[in-house]
Amino acid sequence: MRYLVTLAFFFFFGNHIHAQHQFDGYIDNERWQSDVYLSVIEDYRTLNGINDEQIISKAEADTSGYFQFKGDQLESQQKIYKLHVDNCESYNQASNHFDGHCADSRDILFIAKNTDSITFPLSFEAQMFCDIISNNPKTASFIKIDSLKEEMKFAYTEFRSKANRTLNNKKWFKTLQDFGQELNEPLAELYIYSFLSDRSNAFHEYYLEDLKTNTYYDKLLQRLEHDYPNSSYANQYKAELNSDKYIVSPTTENESGFNWTNLVIGLLFASVLLNLWFVFSAKKRKRKQHTEAKDQLTKQEQKVLELLLDEKTNKDIAETLFVSVSTVKTHVNNVYKKLNVNSRDELKSLFNR
């Protein structure tokens, strides 16, 4: 009986203790470099572009274009993730990712958690990142939204007049909001909100007017705080919403004498602290990755690694460690293999040298 209880425990709870995710698919390796990057998006205003600080893993596609990410490092709460490939020059790739500038790139955004199995197949016309197959029904929400936005673009191009733009602004603003609610996923609604409220977007003025009377935004905050309590998404949205409400209804004090200026200053201060926390967390995560990477190496290989990072030649390393050059080459190859790099430049980029 005790054996059956123990077996049942591991059957029901084992997946939660050692939750595994698997993301795989294919890329067009004739068009793109073989490196595929997986990023986590904590700030929904950085959905576009490439940011080195958001990358959490890298996989190399094989000759058929197949790639795979597998492990247990993702969180149990759903988050926004991105897969991307690019053709940035390898020697300048780190700075391109950090600055967010790589004109020749392709990506896909999706929602996932640590138990998801997701496949990104090539389409019938061998187009990549156009479809998602997942055990999580929320994963493909962003693709559905992007498909609706494509319909919207077509409606705007039918007649290029001010009257047509005005009618379409009102129609599609409401259509996108309603579609987000039907998906029953606050992160999907947040994706739509970030688009409609973007200051560079033609919808922004309409959004500010809508904010004055529409209770939708407060209800979205309630949904976010309920499904994602104390998350960066809920906190960021709350701060932005309060700031935009102040913009559309600027008052120094309300009837009870509340000082809104102090509130805005407090929100700005909280935003600065939140950004500092993100930077600190990213650096801490990077240091942990470096430590874990070094732990894979033997003591002799760690010495070789440090000398490689100091730009020592194989001959210099051999003289320093009192070994032959051929032995040094063997250690260097082992370091490259264990750290998944192919050159000294990639090695220095991995350790920010």
Q: What's 292-318 look like in SS3?
A: HHHHCCCHHHHHHHHHHHCCCCHHHHH
Predicted confidence band of residue 5 (pLDDT cuts 50, 70, 90):
very low
Least confident residue range of 10-14, 37-41, 50-54, 98-102: 10-14
Task: Tell me what the mean pLDDT of segment 267-282 comes to.
Answer: 79
Strands 55-60 and 35-41, by their bridges, are: antiparallel
Mean pLDDT for all residues in the chain: 83
Least confident residue range of 65-79, 114-128, 218-232, 254-268: 254-268
Domain that holds residue 341: 296-350
Predicted confidence band of residue 331 (pLDDT cuts 50, 70, 90):
confident
Question: How many Å from the N-terminal Cα to the C-terminal Cα in the chain?
Answer: 59
Q: Is the pLDDT of residue 121 over 90?
A: yes
37 and 107 fall within a common domain: yes
Task: Tell me what the mean pLDDT of segment 55-65 comes to.
Answer: 94
- For 139-195, the pLDDT digits (tens) are 999 999 999 998 888 887 776 777 777 778 888 999 999 999 999 999 999 999 999
Q: Is the pLDDT of residue 51 over 50?
A: yes
Predicted confidence band of residue 286 (pLDDT cuts 50, 70, 90):
low
Q: Which residue has the higher pLDDT, 131 or 6?
A: 131
Does residue 13 sit within a domain? no
Q: Given this model, what pLDDT does residue 114 score?
A: 93
Residue at which a domain ends, from 139, 168, 191: 139
32 and 68 fall within a common domain: yes
Does residue 265 sit within a domain? no
135 and 158 fall within a common domain: no
238 and 186 fall within a common domain: yes
Does residue 3 sit within a domain? no
What's the one-letter identity of residue 346?
E
229 and 317 fall within a common domain: no
Q: Is the pLDDT of residue 204 over 60?
A: yes
Cα Rg of the chain, angstroms: 25
Predicted confidence band of residue 289 (pLDDT cuts 50, 70, 90):
low
Does residue 111 sit within a domain? yes
